[in-house]
Structure 1
Amino acid sequence: MDDSKFFIDDFDELSEEDENETVIVADKNGERIDVYISMSLEDMSRNSVQKLIADGRVTVNEKLIKSNYKIKINDVIKIIIPEPELLDVKAENIDINIVYEDNDLAVINKPQGMVVHPAAGHYGGTLVNGLMYHLKDLSSINGVMRPGIVHRLDKNTSGLMLVAKNDKSHNFLAACLKEHSINRIYYALVEGNVKDDVGKVDAPLGRSEKDRKKRAVTTKNSKNAVTNYQVVKRYGKYTLLKLKLETGRTHQIRVHMKYIGHAVVGDDVYGSKLNKFGLEGQLLHSKTVGFIHPTTGEYMEFDSELPEYFQRVLKIID
């Protein structure tokens, strides 16, 4: 496996969108450039941006600037993010539910509470550490920190994920994600009684201006995001939804559900802080994944049961 770049983009779909060179066209006037960039880029602190500027890795309209530069509408900001130091991500004998595996890919049923890939300050105990132990061969497209990871799930979201075992399969599956041909179905229990039996949330997502760790519906430095939903069952104060993703943005379902006034139950970031059911995270499960196999060309689909804690809550409210 080659020691390629560790991408800072934290979106669910990991593909060619991740680059070492990033270009932003400014959409506001008068804000300090270090503040603006840190609000625009994923996982980039203001201090990190200031260091990039000091190292001459940030230009505005092809000219070097200082951290106190005030941006102007339509400024072309170019940021060069250096290659990271090689990090030693170790294989670990972690229990992983491998639903299916062949020479090209694997389908994993990720439990709630497991982080998908290592990140700064958190290099062990992740799904990737376990995959390196159990699968051995993983694609190198997303570097040493995310080998095999084509798309991701939040730490407290459970369910099915695709893993690529070689670069050919990874590129094929990434292209399928981009053209929305992978069938991804989630189940979520949300707060309140959802009025319409079916619906679509088409609202762009970007970093929240109030809290850089959160995502929000916004038109500033955002990417399009589309979530389709269908009511499975109503429980009075709660609704069980079946959701189909057209795009895969960070926290997409959770933010979209909050946006329409029906936060996911157990989501202490975007929903209620009251933990009525003693949950350790949101009731959001990646239930089904369907895709064209990169080698055989055949359509394959896998389905998973709702986790025990999810079913327990449904019994309580029924």
Structure 2
Amino acid sequence: MSLEPLRYDPPTEPRLAVIHEDRDMVVVNKPSGLLSVPGRTPELFDSVLSRVREIHRGAQAVHRLDLGTSGVLVVATRRKAETILRQQFQDRLTRKLYLARVQGVMSEDSGQVDLPLICDWPNRPMQMVCHDTGKPALTDYQVLESDGESTLVLLRPHTGRSHQLRVHMASLGHPILGDNLYGEQRPGERLLLHASQLGLYHPYSGEWTTFHAPCDFAEHIAPIVLKAPTLASP
């Protein structure tokens, strides 16, 4: 499979759509088309992280969203906060909700996709299902509405594998609209995948905190309560 070279033309307005900012972190609503962190070449330098560093020089990424995915993204602005936040993502103590519009009408109102994923090395950055060597990947989905040609779904990933939601939806025969890797993308169409909500323990106060980023293709969908995970006893 031959993939076309990336043409990177990131949006510039607004420069940063800040949802929350304090001494430990900046939370932004990342637009589709902007990298989470700088790429390996100079033309791919512009990113959420490089823009946050214009304000907070020592900022560090603690998680990422795909280039085409929009929504809640957290950047740590202090070293201690970075360590705490990274550990939460690693230990799966965060809670994430995504909105996606997928191709076709889904037959089930809700369900779970449990398919292990691994890099499709000859076609990287694509990922693929592999039951022999893939890493566990688990996603819950819930249908919100359908227009007869596509379906709006709420996605709750329990793991954070690369391209997990995109591969899992495609595996059901319902690729996310605008997906140039696992579906079809029409000229000028964005990936209709949005990180709508994120819950985590604040790195300073330790309080359970949730953030919400309005979705440009599902503005009428209200946020729901994200419950804190149960912490293991010491």
TM-score range, shorter chain: 0.7 to 0.9
Residue identity opposite 1:136 in structure 2: R
Contact 1:190–1:239 at 8 Å: present in 2 too?
yes
Which structure has the larger Rg?
1
Distance 1:94 1:187, change over 3 A: closer
CA distance in 2, matches of 1:209, 1:111: 28
Distance 1:260 1:244, change over 3 A: same
From 305, 310, 314, give the equivalent of 2:214: 305
Q: CA deviation at 1:134?
A: 2.1
Distance 1:203 1:280, change over 3 A: same
From 2, 9, 16, give the equivalent of 1:96: 16
From 185, 196, 202, give the equivalent of 2:114: 202
CA distance in 2, matches of 1:135, 1:111: 20
Q: CA deviation at 1:93?
A: 11
> CA offsets per residue over residues 164-221 of structure 1, 9 Å max, x none?
1122212222222223221111000001111222111111111125523311111354
> CA offsets per residue over residues 74-116 of structure 1, 9 Å max, x none?
xxxxxxxxxxxxxxxxxx9981111101111111110111011
After the TM superposition, list the runs of 4 or more consecutive aligned residues in structure 1 that deviate by more than 6 angstroms: none
CA distance in 2, matches of 1:102, 1:180: 23
Q: CA deviation at 1:311?
A: 4.7
Alignment of 1:127 onto 2:48: yes
Alignment of 1:161 onto 2:73: yes
Matched residue, 1:105: 25
CA distance in 2, matches of 1:124, 1:94: 17
Matched residue, 2:184: 272
Distance 1:96 1:246, change over 3 A: same
Matched residue, 1:182: 94
> CA offsets per residue over residues 117-139 of structure 1, 9 Å max, x none?
1222244222221011022332x
Contact 1:94–1:130 at 8 Å: present in 2 too?
no
CA distance in 1, matches of 2:81, 2:100: 30
Q: CA deviation at 1:254?
A: 0.5
Relative contact order: is structure 1 or structure 2 higher (C-alpha 8 Å, sep ≥ 6)?
A: 2
| TM-score of the superposed pair, with normalisation by structure 2 | 0.82
| SS at structure 1 position matched to 2:189 | coil
Contact 1:156–1:280 at 8 Å: present in 2 too?
no
Q: CA deviation at 1:259?
A: 0.9
CA distance in 2, matches of 1:259, 1:192: 13
| SS at structure 2 position matched to 1:134 | coil
Alignment of 1:224 onto 2:136: yes
| SS at structure 2 position matched to 1:242 | strand
> CA offsets per residue over residues 195-250 of structure 1, 9 Å max, x none?
22211111111112552331111135422111111111122121100111111111
| SS at structure 1 position matched to 2:61 | coil
Spell out the pairing of 1:136-147 with structure 2 (5 A cutoff).
Answer: 136-138=57-59
| TM-score of the superposed pair, with normalisation by structure 1 | 0.61
Contact 1:107–1:161 at 8 Å: present in 2 too?
yes
CA distance in 2, matches of 1:293, 1:177: 12
Matched residue, 1:242: 154
CA distance in 2, matches of 1:262, 1:123: 31
Contact 1:94–1:125 at 8 Å: present in 2 too?
no
Q: CA RMSD in A?
A: 2.2
Residue identity opposite 1:211 in structure 2: N
Alignment of 1:257 onto 2:157: no
Counting matched residue pairs gives 208
Matched residue, 2:232: none
CA distance in 2, matches of 1:234, 1:93: 31
Contact 1:267–1:282 at 8 Å: present in 2 too?
yes
Task: Give the gaps of 5 or more residues in structure 2.
Answer: 1-11, 222-234
Q: CA deviation at 1:163?
A: 1.1
| SS at structure 2 position matched to 1:136 | coil
